[in-house]
Structure formats: C-alpha cells, structure tokens
Amino acid sequence: MENYTITVLGCGVMGTAVISAIIRSKVEPFPSKIICCSNTESSSVKLRSKLGDKVEYSFGPENNKKAVSEANVIILGCKPYMFQSIYEGVKDVCKDQLVISLLAGVTIEELQVMSPYVAKVMTNTPAQFGCGMAGIAFSPEAESKYSELVMQLINPIGKAIKLPEKNMDAATSLIGSGPAFCLLFLESLIDGAVRMGIPYDIAKESAAKVMEGTAKMVEETNEHPAVLKSKICTPGGTTIGGLLKMEDAGVRGGVARGVEEAAKISASFAKKK
C-alpha cells in the first residue's frame, strides 16, 4: 500500500501508544497522513501535546466522519462499549478499508460490519515505551492481503506475533493483563526488601532491574525458565529456601489460575452481547 492515510478513532492509552510507535518507527512505506479523531476540541489539544505536529487532529462527528472517508487504514482505539455508536456515525463512509482493532471483547465477525479486512490486536500498556507485546488475529480476507503491512505497523510497539482468534481471550489475559500480574510480583519483591531494611527507592529500582534482566535472560538464552531457575539454586542456599516458601504459599498456582480466570472473563464479554 502506497501513499495511504491512517485514521485513528479513539486515541486512549493504547491508540496513542500505537500511533506514537508508528511515528517513531521507520515503517516502509510510511503513511502519507495520520489523522487522530476525538470527541472534543480539548481532547485534541491534549493529543497534540503528546503526539506533536506529525499527525493531523479531528474532533466532532462530522469532522471524524470526513477523516474516515479519507482513510485507507482505520485504527479503532476507542472503548469497546463505544464501538457500535462510533460505527453508526461513520458507516456511510466505510468502504472496505483495512480495520485494525485494539478493542478487547469485540470479535472479528462483529468488526466486519465495517470491512471484510480486519486485524484484531491485543497489546498492553508497556507499548507506550516501545517494549510492549501484541497478539494479532486476522480475518481471512485481511490475512491474505494486509498481514505484512499490519505486522510492520504494530511491531514498533515492541514485538508482534500472529495468533488465531480462538486464542485471543488467553492473549487478553497473558498480554493485556500480564503487566498487572508482573507488577503485583514486583510490588511483593519490593515489600520483602523493605521489610528486611532496604530503603524503598533502592528496593524499587533493584526489583525492577531484576525483572527486566530476568526477562532478557529468558529471551536471549531461549532456555526454559525452570532450567534458568535451577542454575540460581545452590544446595542448601538462600534461593531454594525462598522458592520453597513461595511454593508453600501457592504462588505458582495462584499466578497460573489468575491467567486462566482473566481469560474466562474476557470470553464472557462476548457471550453477554
């Protein structure tokens, strides 16, 4: 696709993160125009302060409808419950554009009222800093025609992988909710360190770096986490003692069941419609 325009409907945290990543990236071909749509002028002013002058801004129903009519690619970054009302406002100018949805709980089939060409993306808040993760499911029509472009547009948030739509509820849990689960563990590490006398600021900085370095070690070595963990444990040592205390408290099962529960809740959203 050459000389294409991206229109973003709803620039919340995720929509802004994706557009920021695209602006910073060297996507080829780069969009000739990016239009960010919001409801009010004040929202547009806030967006401009975040994104600068490399994008155009639109607010209000008629202006946003015009922005959609100009689009080759539509990114849906609104709240999921707003999708239907937004669609009603722009349906007359939907003309089989590529639709990239960031909406949890809205299926590809539901999104295809806008276009047969749909990519459903689940990403997360670390995307704001270029170290996010994204799982992407495609409609058959989009898979064959636009998968390469979508991967190029989303990869700059950190990393993007393809997933079948049947796995998107699990991806919502692992990828979307995962940072909150990690933050709970990070907070626990900090609390333990503070309990043992380390000042909070030092404990926070140290714990955050431990988690960052551990994730990097898993990525770089490609070894199973259990193998890497065993290399840290010396017989009769501190690490194995601490791990056994965590196992006694059910940490492993609690985390795994937390991922399971979040995925079930994600699946329930579609059933309630």
Whether 11 has a binding-site annotation, put simply, is: yes
Inform me whether the pLDDT recorded for 272 exceeds 70: no
Inform me whether the pLDDT recorded for 2 exceeds 90: no
Whether 1 has a binding-site annotation, put simply, is: no
Mean pLDDT of the chain: 93
Torsion on CA atoms 234, 235, 239, 240, rounded to nearest 10: 140
Cα angle 149-155-160, degrees, rounded to a multiple of 5: 100
Report the greatest alpha carbon distance in the chain: 70
Tens digits of residue pLDDT in 153-192: 999 999 999 999 999 999 999 999 999 999 999 999 999 9
Judging by beta carbons within 10 Å of its beta carbon (0-12, 13-18, 19+), is residue 257 exposed, middle or buried?
Answer: exposed
Inform me whether the pLDDT recorded for 105 exceeds 90: no
Query: In angstroms, rounded to a whole number, what is the distance separating the alpha carbons of residues 36 and 225?
Result: 41
Domain 171-271 has CATH 1.20.1540.10: no
**Quick one: CA dihedral 141, 144, 146, 151, positive or negative?**
positive
Q: What is the pLDDT of residue 269?
A: 80
How confident is residue 273, by pLDDT bands cut at 50, 70 and 90? low
> CA 268 → CA 87, 102, 103, 261, 271, distances in Å?
23, 18, 15, 11, 5
Q: How many CA atoms lie within 13 A of 150 on its CB side?
A: 31
Whether 9 has a binding-site annotation, put simply, is: yes
> CA 250 → CA 94, 125, 153, 187, distances in Å?
51, 27, 40, 17
Whether 196 has a binding-site annotation, put simply, is: no
Whether 105 has a binding-site annotation, put simply, is: no
Tell me what percent of the residues of the chain surpass a pLDDT of 90: 74
Q: What is the pLDDT of residue 43?
A: 86
Tens digits of residue pLDDT in 20-63: 999 888 788 899 999 999 888 888 888 888 888 889 999 888 98
For residues 208-230, average pLDDT: 97
Q: What is the pLDDT of residue 132?
A: 95
The domains of the chain are located at: 5-163, 171-271
Residues 6+ apart with CB under 8 A from 40: 59, 60
5-163 fold: Rossmann fold (3.40.50)
Tens digits of residue pLDDT in 120-158: 999 999 998 999 999 999 999 999 999 999 999 999 999
Please provide residue 212's backbone torsions phi and psi, each rounded to the nearest 5 degrees: -60, -45
Whether 243 has a binding-site annotation, put simply, is: no
Q: How many CA atoms lie within 13 A of 234 on its CB side?
A: 2
Are domains 5-163 and 171-271 of this chain identical in fold? no
> CA 204 → CA 94, 152, 180, 216, distances in Å?
48, 34, 16, 18
Whether 64 has a binding-site annotation, put simply, is: yes
